[in-house]
Amino acid sequence: MTPLLDQSISDIFRTFVNEEPLENALKQLQTKYSEFPFAINVQSLNDQNYNYRTVLNVGQEFHDTFAPVANLNPLPAILQEADIDEPCRVHRLFPKEKIHPEYVGSFLDVNNKIDRAISLIIDRHDSLCCYVNISLPGAASEHDEEQLFEEVKFLQPFFRNAFQLALQRRMRDAIAPTRDLGKFWLEQMPFSALVVDENCCVQVMNKRAERLLSTHANLQVGRYKRVTAKAGDEAATLESSVRQSIFTNTPAAPVIIRNEFGPNTLIFVQPIEGEQDAPEYLSHFLEPPSNCLLMVFDPTDFSDVPDKMISHLLNLTPKETEVVKALTNGASARDAAEQLGISYNTARNHIANVSRRLEVGSQTEIVRLVMTTLSRFPWQG
């Protein structure tokens, strides 16, 4: 094994394990063949739409000349049929003479008379394909082509294995909240929290949620472990918010559970995303979320969260922390002022300062941010 191949294997696994930019995995080849364009693509082979694309070793002219004729690129059709287990010499399967003349004249010929290409398929699922296409200029020798092909052929299994490892890890992370790890994760949250599926069926919940739901006047876990509100309109809103959050992969508006004899309960609905923060070359291969997190803010359930924790995590002053905690306990700005013995205008000023510092636009968003932040940091009462 040559030093280049040895270092390339290390680069490949480091890139995928650390979820670095994919071009880092090609650093050795890119440097050795600095005159060859390396196009990294995630693409639907059916409609030729690029979900992700970056090209190495090229200038702006390459991009400017490719864009107008991209729909004439013969590569997607070739890769649909190509053997996924070894590199593809595109020019042997589809000679230049068969390529649309406008694509040849407007793109290939003006970019160093590209006349050959070697494609490395990293993964192909249905019509979605992640691949690297290396274009060879007309001046490239047959020796360079042969050597490059052998190097790519040697490295392809490592690319495919590393990609699958990264993908599987992301998939495990997505389902972890419904397994034993999820129970541990939820127990660290200083409020009632539970994971539900699209039908509001509970997958896992923390002890706070178990206690709250067993005694709450207007929330319950019924048949098939389905969490619901006792009031019909609130039950419908909760179910709709859960489905909206899962299917749109965005947080839903908070669900208000009315309490005739005290402060209302707020339920914040947030999707559990396997693809959140995943690099683009991975995210398009991940399944959409099938569960979401319900964070239940009942005023009686939140009173013992340490002020210092909220202050530290959100960078608030002690007085701001007191106001924010009152809001999370269901108080209005006027109620918070009365509870804390300050004027209404002072309370409003504190809320305005917090909103500006946290870059949120409403009291509801402040409460949501508090919940989301606390859900990410371990705490035990």
Interatomic CA distance for residues 295 and 307, integer angstroms: 19
CA–CA distance, 193 with 348 (Å, rounded to integer): 30
Inter-CA distances, 31 with 27, 118, 139, 155, 338, Å = 6, 17, 18, 16, 68
pLDDT value for 307: 73
| pLDDT: which is higher, 222 or 147 | 147
The domain segmentation of the chain, as residue ranges, is 3-174, 179-299, 303-381
Domain 3-174 belongs in CATH node 3.90.1150.10: no
Helix (H) or strand (E) holding 314: helix 307-314
The DSSP letter of residue 286 is S
Question: Does the global pTM surpass 0.95?
Answer: no
313-327 confidence digits (pLDDT tens): 788 898 998 898 888
| pLDDT value, residue 35 | 95
pLDDT for 376 beyond 80: no
Q: Residue 299 — pLDDT band, cuts 50, 70, 90? A: low
Same CATH fold assignment for domains 3-174 and 179-299: yes
Helices (H) and strands (E) in the chain, counts: 17, 12
Q: What are the pLDDT digits (tens) for 228-260? A: 999 999 999 999 999 998 888 888 888 888 877
Predicted confidence at residue 177, as pLDDT, reads 63
CATH numeric code, 303-381? 1.10.10.10
DSSP state, 278? -
The more confidently predicted of residues 95 and 64 is 64
pLDDT at 374: 66
Q: How confident is the model at residue 217 (pLDDT cuts 50, 70, 90)?
A: confident
Q: What is the DSSP letter of 177?
A: G
**Superfamily of the domain at 179-299:** PAS domain (3.30.450.20)
Q: Which position has the token pair 């398929």?
A: 121
Element housing 227 (H / E):
strand 227-229
Q: What is the pLDDT of residue 363?
A: 83
Q: Does 2 score more than 80 pLDDT?
A: yes
Q: Residues 86, 156: contact at Cβ < 8 Å?
A: yes
198 and 290 Cβ atoms separated by less than 8 Å: yes
Q: What is the 3-state secondary structure (H, E, C) of 103-161?
A: HHHHHHCCCCCCCEEEEEEEEEECCEEEEEEEEECCCCCHHHHHHHHHHHHHHHHHHHH
pLDDT of residue 8: 95
Query: Binning pLDDT at 50, 70 and 90, where does residue 304 land?
Result: low
Q: Which residue has the higher pLDDT, 296 or 274?
A: 296
Residue of 288, 272, 248 lying closest to 376 (CA atoms): 272
Name the average pLDDT for the chain: 87
pLDDT, residue 258, reads 84
Does 67 have pLDDT greater than 90? yes
- The pLDDT confidence band at residue 133, using thresholds 50, 70 and 90, is very high
Q: How far is CA 360 from CA 324, 342, 374, in A?
A: 13, 23, 17
* Of 301 and 369, more confident: 369
Predicted local distance difference test score (pLDDT) of residue 281: 87
Question: What is the number of other CB atoms lying within 10 angstroms of the CB of residue 354?
Answer: 23
Q: Per-residue pLDDT averaged across 8-25, rounded?
A: 93
How confident is the model at residue 364, as a pLDDT?
79
Pairing of strands 255-257, 116-125: unpaired
Q: Give the model confidence (pLDDT) of 68-115 as tens digits.
A: 999 999 998 899 888 888 999 999 988 888 999 999 999 999 999 999
